[in-house]
Copies of this chain bind each other. A is one copy, B any other.
Amino acid sequence: MKYYAGIDIGGTNIKAGIVDETGKILIEDSIPTGADRPQDIVLKDIIAQVKGLAEKSGVALSGVGMGSPGMIDSERGIVIYNNNLGWRNFAIGPAVSEALGVPATLENDADAAALGEVVSGCAKGAKRALIITLGTGVGSGFVIDGRIFRGCEFGHMVIVRGGRPCTCGRKGCFESYCSATGLINMTREAGITEADGTVNGRTVFDAADNGSSKAQDIIDDYTGYLACGLANLINGLLPEVVGLGGGIAKQGERLLAPLREKLKEEIYKGLSLPRIVSCELGYKAGLIGAAMSARQ
């Protein structure tokens, strides 16, 4: 059995773990990122964290895999740009590899999470799996034949030309309609809130369950946009499984059932509808996937 360290670098915490080659986590922990500190200090923490975990677990590492948000050069193991961490051209891959004496890989965090779901989550064993995260933005990761397909930034695919402004500068992106932020905006614009006046990703689903037809209309709209973007990707990428992650996906069948109905109308004639499911691993997907990317 081979063992790998997986590191999921976030703006708030860095989660690390020792994972066996089948995707099972032996041991894990989390440390604060301290993103206001110089990157070399954060690097020292990461190395100490992994060394500590490897020691506790008592296994020898065959490699280290990292997942990071931002713009990544996976070939060279460099974080080119990460706004939340303040990193610029940070060659973290070579640095970690040198310090730990094993190969180190670096992937986009959404890609790593997608690989995690394919190794041991909602898309286990799928030859082609598309994992879409409906969070602050819309993240997308595609895994084909057990390997991460690098690229796949389909959150910024325009589906409504000239539509809602997106943070990326374009108008009408998939993300501007289908992120949790997009749904919360639609909910608030319709005047639907929690009792305390706040709005979150489940507010509109709860209101619909309580008989609000206005809430039902928003769910129809939202799942319509989601079906539009997903059908574009299903037609183009032919996934067997589409896994939805992030806060909105926790609504389960309240989201998935109407979505599947709309997708049947939208995908290319003759294609079978892929399995449309919720992701299963939560935060562990990034950790497991990062570790498993080191197997490649």
Contact = CB atoms under 8 A, between A and B. Distances in A.
A260 interface: no
B158 A228 contact: yes
Given A153-B236, A168-B269, A270-B80, A231 B71 contact: no
Interface string A126-155: 001000000000001000000000111110
Contacts of A128: 151
B160 A235 contact: no
A270 B71 contact: yes
A237 B161 contact: no
A235 B150 contact: no
Nearest to A71: B270
Given A71-B270, A168-B269, A169-B269, A225 B161 contact: yes
Contact of A158 (B152, B153, B232): B232
B158 A231 contact: yes
Contacts of A270: 71, 80-81
A268 interface: yes
Given A235-B157, A237-B151, A268 B228 contact: no
A266 interface: yes
A15 interface: no
Nearest to A151: B238
Interface string A65-82: 000000100000000110
A236 B154 contact: yes
A95 to B, nearest CB: 22
Contacts of A284: none
A188 interface: no
A170 interface: yes
B80 A236 contact: no
B157 A160 contact: no
A26 interface: no
A24 B260 CA distance: 47
Interface in A43-81: 71, 80-81
A19 B169 CA distance: 47
Contact of A236 (B151, B170, B231, B266): B151
Contacts of A157: 157, 232, 235-236
Contacts of A170: 231, 266
Across chains A and B, which 4 residue pairs bring their CB atoms closest together, nearest first?
A151-B238, A157-B232, A154-B236, A160-B161
Given A81-B270, A150-B238, A153-B236, 14 more contacts: A71-B270, A128-B151, A151-B237, A154-B235, A154-B236, A157-B157, A157-B232, A157-B236, A158-B228, A158-B231, A161-B228, A168-B269, A169-B269, A170-B231
Interface of A: 71, 80-81, 128, 140, 150-154, 156-161, 163, 168-170, 172, 225, 228, 231-232, 235-238, 266, 268-270
